[in-house]
Structure 1
């Protein structure tokens, strides 16, 4: 089944305009399969991982199916964590950017309930909440669901893993029977099937089928980098690899435009290619790219279809695609006509799981790579300059006219040798060649930067008596937060408690996301450690 374009869906002009502003052109596989039956009023079970576009898969129909003449809550979305609730709220607000009268409210623990009660008096039509806080408002009668038309369980398997089954049962037992129930889960565990049997009516199972994918023999690498440092890393990669013709893929039109401007301001010959451009403009850009008149083409997947250029030296996945097929199509643009090709993927946090899926389905190996250093870039530039000088020496008529100038410099500087003069002139020429305005200081190795400082020590009331191991802690934190496992510092496991060091900027996220963390049925409390404490009696230590 081919993915559909949003413009081909029967969406309001306001929502179409909002999706265009968000940079979305084509629906993802889960959106392509889920949106039409949701519009038809069917209950669905959507099997989808985080990052596949499932928020818009249920969010777009939810927004479009609202009745503006009915006040109060019409859509209730249950989310396992407050972070996800906020994320869903923000994405739906973007979908409603040009749609007047739609009120969206996230409700979750850790925020003032009085403030939420006041906000609920404004009669929002869409509520996104964690089960505990939703139940709290239901008990207080501050959340009234008499006019509810649709309820959505997002990441249902995660909610069950976190012990929310009873809360879900309590909530679903008190909402109107005449409603549409949508359930999204990464797995189809037995408890998920129990929920569907109890609370859904003839649900339609929707899942994206992964094709067996093979990829050409292209060298594939990935680099871990924060989003804010991606432009600098891309510049450094282009220079260190001396890329003369490169193709960069972004997931949205806005990202394409923003990156193209960033490259142009740094002195690169870069052009954008996406669906908002007229066909004549796209043809103009492609002709320039084919002729090598521009170095870097920045494109979306849809716009890049049909690109057939033989000399593309490298493909950069500036954003990891949500679909494995897109990845294969992207990197297949390099290594054509019998030439070797290479691809570089920029990842951070949960992107590593997408990358693992891609490796599994393509049966390929994507190797880790460290960002090139400034020294690496300078050496490449120096080698290029040497090549130019050697080429120039083969044409004496181009430089002999400057001999008298060299003699004048030597006469005026008694201590200087011809080697000194050559070095000084070469330095001047080299600096002029380096006319691109980089700011490499923002691009550090994240792991090194964190180990130098800025770490927060967390206390956990669990230890060796609970059979906890460092790998359990690392896997749990990496799975529930955006913190990559390799950035976790020292873990000291004692008999009754554990200390774990993490980058300070992730401390609040880790404590919030791990609030309901359990190990072997025991709820684990996590809080900041005031100081280094605890006995030094043979801790199970991991660095």
Structure 2
């Protein structure tokens, strides 16, 4: 459930939240957030979960599943128990973005429950803060399967007292190759725990999980009723995260808009992005849950009267915001709930007016884009990154308009004409040069035109470049850059390279685990993987030859089966061919005692860390 899912103006047909039996503190938080009627999945799921039943919820992304399990979990927490004894609830999510979103939702719903400790655990984040929080004790852990497995292998996460386990987007986790990790986690938790499994579909693997690990679950199926307004033009731009600010800046320059709401995921991001836009010359204000009511009213008033054009907001802060001037909505951060998407873009195109909705989609968020299109029965048109020429054409047109408007002010023109003539006569300078100098002074802080320098390639540009490589370089040069013999992907045609990771058969890894871990941490798609060869102590994986430095950096701390993969380009076979010698460097350390000679050192699992 997003923060805006229950803003549907239609009267409630089912129970209200205060009729569901939620704990007082949880109910107070829900009411403080302005929610009145639960969505269909919430109304059907919360009562059996509060009663202690296992549940299988079949619903599309965006139907309000987060609140459907978060509210009953928080209501049933034992707040008198010492959190240092281990978490009471664990929520597994397929990606770090969803894990963060779910964790933020838990924080909001727990706002009236004093002392509740929540911890998101996901890859790409340092272990230090996670280990510190776990030592202090937490009530609820929200994490991705890979990182949860890492902590289990290290013995830094104790699930022996777990009471609630939630599998969110279970089908997505299985498709990413986390099936074995999920089953390992399920098997290592108490048999008495309560399990909630949520999935958009019910493939055979999900059915088997349900039958094996859930106790007579109640199966609930709900279909989303969200639909987008036909008056809204919906587009998306493929963009990497670091490019978002530049992309938004160019869109603000080339789009003809009156008022705009830019949606971000967190309160801190509203302030940061609004400040960046103001630094680039755009009038923007932040609107979030921490903004006092009088300040909010002033911002909304400025948006209505045209003294402010851009508001950067969270879902909660934009609730009930209905301003006729809003012609554009930008999803700077794509929502993980499809109904939240509908409510966001519904801020424009009201009462028969037309509107525009633009969504920024990072490569790893393609599945969210597909979910939005599928669940809302719509298609978003892909737009191209606004070019330097387009931006300059708009700037020149606006500059022309300013000149034309100034020429209509006859009295001011006469006064400045005398000044220009005086300067031109006394300095022997052409009047047109004086006018150009005045324009230069006018744009001293920022040049009128962007320089025609090589632009930062977009994601789609890089995809095209991979398909349009020049002639193959010499063998030595290919080896240097990692283009292994000119191999190309059968799916995309892009050049592939062979990378080496330090996990193999003795670590009991399978190709799906490798694909799931690298895809999740590196933001890759299935089509980016080629052949995978699992050797005794290591594995060889074909990936795009020109992996971005930020992608490689994000994979530095990735673990599979508790072991760092240490991704690097494979150097190929040693001269002379054949198998490498027995003393190659990829072995695990050997025990020093005679009895253990030749055996790999084993790590103890699931030991509680000493204080």
Distance in 1, Cα, partners of 2:69 & 2:451 = 41
1:353 equivalent to 2:367? Answer yes
Q: Which residue of 2 aligns with 1:410?
A: 424
Distance in 2, Cα, partners of 1:133 & 1:340 = 45
Mapping of 1:416-455 within 5 angstroms?
416-431=429-444, 444-447=456-459
Q: Which of the numbers 45, 53, 69 marks the counterpart of 1:42? A: 53
Give how far 1:357 is off: 2.4
- Cα 1:218–1:137 change in 2 (3 A) is closer
Q: Which residue of 2 aligns with 1:483?
A: 523
- Cα 1:364–1:125 change in 2 (3 A) is closer
Distance in 2, Cα, partners of 1:129 & 1:302 = 24
- Cα 1:534–1:184 change in 2 (3 A) is farther
- Cα 1:506–1:63 change in 2 (3 A) is farther
Give how far 1:221 is off: 1.9
Q: Which residue of 2 aligns with 1:538?
A: none
Which has the higher mean CA deviation after the structures are superposed, 80-89 or 61-70? Answer: 80-89
Asked whether the equivalents of residues 165 and 193 of structure 2 are also in contact (C-alpha less than 8 Å), the reply is: yes
Q: Which residue of 2 aligns with 1:470?
A: 491
Asked whether the equivalents of residues 152 and 181 of structure 1 are also in contact (C-alpha less than 8 Å), the reply is: yes
Please give the secondary structure, in 2, of the residue aligned with 1:321: coil
Asked whether the equivalents of residues 42 and 64 of structure 2 are also in contact (C-alpha less than 8 Å), the reply is: no
Please give the secondary structure, in 1, of the residue aligned with 2:363: coil
Q: Which residue of 2 aligns with 1:529?
A: 569
Give how far 1:471 is off: 5.2
Q: Which residue of 2 aligns with 1:75?
A: 88
1:304 equivalent to 2:318? Answer yes
Could you state the TM-score of these two structures normalised by the residue count of structure 1?
0.70
- Cα 1:54–1:261 change in 2 (3 A) is farther
Give how far 1:16 is off: 5.5
Please give the secondary structure, in 2, of the residue aligned with 1:350: helix
- Cα 1:482–1:141 change in 2 (3 A) is closer
Give how far 1:159 is off: 5.8
What are the superposed Cα offsets for residues 196-248 of structure 1, whole Å, 9 maximum, x if unpaired? 23332342335552216242233322122334443343233222325342232
Distance in 2, Cα, partners of 1:121 & 1:350 = 32
1:371 equivalent to 2:385? Answer yes
Give how far 1:403 is off: 2.9
Please give the secondary structure, in 1, of the residue aligned with 2:344: helix
Please give the secondary structure, in 1, of the residue aligned with 2:229: coil
Give how far 1:369 is off: 1.9
Number of equivalences? 508
Q: Which residue of 2 aligns with 1:388?
A: 402
- Cα 1:234–1:104 change in 2 (3 A) is closer
Please give the secondary structure, in 2, of the residue aligned with 1:372: coil
Q: Which residue of 2 aligns with 1:216?
A: 230
1:507 equivalent to 2:547? Answer no
Mapping of 1:110-189 within 5 angstroms?
147-157=161-171, 172=186, 175-189=189-203
Asked whether the equivalents of residues 168 and 198 of structure 2 are also in contact (C-alpha less than 8 Å), the reply is: yes
Distance in 2, Cα, partners of 1:335 & 1:140 = 53
- Cα 1:398–1:472 change in 2 (3 A) is closer
- Cα 1:78–1:210 change in 2 (3 A) is closer
Unaligned runs of 5+ in 2: 8-15, 470-479, 497-511, 534-539, 576-611
Distance in 2, Cα, partners of 1:533 & 1:44 = 52
What are the superposed Cα offsets for residues 131-150 of structure 1, whole Å, 9 maximum, x if unpaired? 89989999999977654423
Give how far 1:290 is off: 1.8
Mapping of 1:320-339 within 5 angstroms?
320-335=334-349
What are the superposed Cα offsets for residues 474-503 of structure 1, whole Å, 9 maximum, x if unpaired? 996896455365996x97999x98453221
1:313 equivalent to 2:353? Answer no
Root-mean-square deviation (CA, aligned residues, Å) is 5.7
What are the superposed Cα offsets for residues 225-275 of structure 1, whole Å, 9 maximum, x if unpaired? 334443343233222325342232334444334333333344433234444
What are the superposed Cα offsets for residues 289-329 of structure 1, whole Å, 9 maximum, x if unpaired? 22212111333344434444334332222222333344334
Asked whether the equivalents of residues 515 and 526 of structure 1 are also in contact (C-alpha less than 8 Å), the reply is: no
- Cα 1:68–1:215 change in 2 (3 A) is same
Distance in 1, Cα, partners of 2:527 & 2:250 = 23
Please give the secondary structure, in 1, of the residue aligned with 2:201: coil
Distance in 1, Cα, partners of 2:118 & 2:329 = 42
Could you state the TM-score of these two structures normalised by the residue count of structure 2?
0.63
- Cα 1:32–1:412 change in 2 (3 A) is farther
1:199 equivalent to 2:199? Answer no
Unaligned runs of 5+ in 1: 517-524, 536-543
Distance in 1, Cα, partners of 2:302 & 2:101 = 40
- Cα 1:343–1:485 change in 2 (3 A) is same
Give how far 1:367 is off: 1.9
- Cα 1:240–1:434 change in 2 (3 A) is farther
Asked whether the equivalents of residues 66 and 102 of structure 2 are also in contact (C-alpha less than 8 Å), the reply is: no
- Cα 1:472–1:512 change in 2 (3 A) is farther
Distance in 2, Cα, partners of 1:398 & 1:59 = 65
- Cα 1:300–1:151 change in 2 (3 A) is closer
Asked whether the equivalents of residues 456 and 528 of structure 1 are also in contact (C-alpha less than 8 Å), the reply is: no
- Cα 1:329–1:449 change in 2 (3 A) is same
- Cα 1:370–1:38 change in 2 (3 A) is same
